[in-house]
Amino acid sequence: MTTLDRSKPPQPGPITLIGFPKFITTQTSGGTPVYLVENHGQPLVSITLYLREGSANDVAGKEGRSAMSAELLTKGTDTRSATEIAEAIDFVGGSLGAGASWDSTTISTSVLTRYLPTALDLFADVALNPAFAGAELDRAKLQRIAGIKQAKSDPGYLAESIFSRIVFASHPYALEVNGTEESVPKFTSEELQNIYKGISSPSNSFFIAAGDITESELLGMIEHRFKEWKSNPAKSQSVTAPPAQKNNRVALVEKAQAVQSAIRVGHIGIARDDKDYVACYVLNMLLGGYFNSRINMNLREKNGFTYGARSFFDTRKQTGAFAVSTEVRTDVTAKAIAEIINELTLIRKEPVSEVELSMVKNYIIGSFPLSIETPQQVAGRVATLALYGLEMDYYDKFRDTVAALSREDLLRTAQTYIHPDALTITASGDVKALESDMKAFGDVEIYDHDLIRI
């Protein structure tokens, strides 16, 4: 036996290359696509129905209606009360849920294999026959308004809300996805039911399943439960992407008894199907996407301003945002923002080093197998392909696409998509303590904790 040399890391062993797991693409007799990630490792099955319309169909004054419509789906059908549905799914230890995001509305269930028929009966019933009962709507409103009041005491929510409002301007992405204290009380059962009728259609949706089930079992179970589902011309709201800003916009939101500021800094980004998505993904990873990223290393490890700092391109069907997000103690708020702006400026000015680029590539490519360990994780990625119309071999090619990016590609990407001279800068915290320092970044707009400008 040789003595162990502890002075340097050991050589890695022989690598096991794995591709993106195979998944099955099929469809119902009605033509609705069905995707299956079959895996019998655990006796669990998850199934999600994606409707291809979501909260991006909301309009000002009616914000939150898509989310509320989706929430009511599991709160009673023509033949089952809300409590009967809850009893039935709870008894088998499963989950049944529905919700809306900007780009889709989903109904999903997850259950031990032996209880799948019970869960799917409920799943199909809430998808096809939701009742939108007035008494359930009243309850949901009460809870939703309480939830909004709660959210307003969260500094991250306050900073994020104003950030979205400024960045997205008149686009629906500027709206509160869960509604406001003004919009929610006015919803009626009839309008929420119409929202759902307008988006529920076998020709504008897909199923995705993961776990302990075969293709023929899955199709058999879906087929007879959804045979009455009628097609319906989809009415998608088309809104042009918001224009890029010309200058900085700076906003502060008052948060009672704040000891920290929640900060958002950014601007318009890209859509999920953008040709430069992977370049932006890699660029962002290096800039603020992982622990070793420039922004986290600067704000956390070098300066000790924060527990963590991150950046992201929030990509959606239409153009989303690019944002840096962090929470720092009040007295270093302006310093932290200045450091963020420095990083955004630097990444456009000089090509990243070879070492930095290879580090980030190693991380993204090397960690890919970890992100597809469970069938549910794989299904989540397949759903992204289906929802955003990406090539079905996208994840087969992903690592090669990352590997091919050069320092020049990243510089060009930064110069195209990062704009430190036209930022939206928002912070929620102690406005009195922050206001004068924030003027260094531009004229300061001030909002109260109800997000009303003062």
Partner 1 sequence: MQNPPKVQTGAISYTEYDLPNGLHVILHEDHKAPIVCVNIAYHVGSKNETPDRAGFAHLFEHLLFEGSTNVKRGEFDTHITQAGGYDNAYTTEDKTNYYEVLPAHQLGLALWLESDRMLGFVLDEVSLRTQKDVVKEEKRERYDNTPYGSLSERMMSLAYKNFPYKWTVIGDMNTIEAATLTDVKDFYDTFYSPSNAVLVLTGAFQEADVRKQIEEYFGDIPAHPGILERPIYNEEEQLNERREIVTTEAVPLPGIFYAYPMPPEGSDEAIALDLLTDILSTGRSSRLYQKLVYTGKLASEMSAYVDLREMPGLLWIYAIGNLPEQDTMPIEIAIEEVIAEIRETHVSEIELQKAKNKTEMRLIASRVTTSGKADQLAHSRVFFNDTSKANSVIDRYLAVTTEDIRKAAAKYLVPEKRCVVVFVPPPEEDGDDEGDE
DSSP 408-451: HHHHHHHHHH--TTS-EEEEEE-HHHHHHHHGGGSPEEEE-TTS
108 binds partner 1 (CB under 8 A): no
134 binds partner 1 (CB under 8 A): no
142 binds partner 1 (CB under 8 A): yes
Q: How far apart are CA 146 and CA 150, in angstroms?
A: 6
> In this complex, which beta carbon is closest to partner 1, that of residue 10 or of residue 233?
10
Site for partner 1, residues 153 to 212, rule: CB under 8 A: 153-155
Q: Which of 78, 216, 256, 391 binds partner 1 (CB under 8 A)?
A: 256
9 binds partner 1 (CB under 8 A): yes
Cα atoms found within 13 Å of the Cα of residue 280, Cβ hemisphere only: 22
> In this complex, which beta carbon is closest to partner 1, that of residue 231 or of residue 367?
367
Q: Greatest CA span in the chain, whole angstroms? A: 78
335 binds partner 1 (CB under 8 A): no
Q: How far apart are CA 373 and CA 195, in angstroms?
A: 37
The CB-of-219 to partner 1 minimum distance in angstroms stands at: 25
Fill in the amino acid letter for 78. D
Tokens 């979205």 belong to 164
* Size of the residue set binding partner 1 (CB under 8 A): 76
388 binds partner 1 (CB under 8 A): no
The CB-of-80 to partner 1 minimum distance in angstroms stands at: 12
The CB-of-307 to partner 1 minimum distance in angstroms stands at: 4
Helices 134-151 + 65-72 axis angle, to 10: 130
> In this complex, which beta carbon is closest to partner 1, that of residue 203 or of residue 376?
376
Element holding 211 (H helix, E strand): strand 205-211
Q: How far apart are CA 279 and CA 282, in angstroms?
A: 5
Task: Give CA separation, 438 vs 207, 226, 304, 420, 435, in Å.
Answer: 48, 56, 20, 16, 5
Site for partner 1, residues 290 to 309, rule: CB under 8 A: 290-292, 297, 300-302, 304-307
> In this complex, which beta carbon is closest to partner 1, that of residue 111 or of residue 423?
111
452 binds partner 1 (CB under 8 A): no
Q: How far apart are CA 106 and CA 343, in angstroms?
A: 38
> In this complex, which beta carbon is closest to partner 1, that of residue 219 or of residue 285?
285
> In this complex, which beta carbon is closest to partner 1, that of residue 95 or of residue 247?
95
Task: Using the rule CB under 8 A, give the single segment among 22-30, 35-43, 47-55, 276-284 that binds partner 1.
Answer: 35-43
359 binds partner 1 (CB under 8 A): yes
454 binds partner 1 (CB under 8 A): no
Name every residue whose Cβ is closer than 8 Å to that of residue 410 and which is 6 or more positions away in sequence.
279, 282, 283, 286, 351, 352, 357
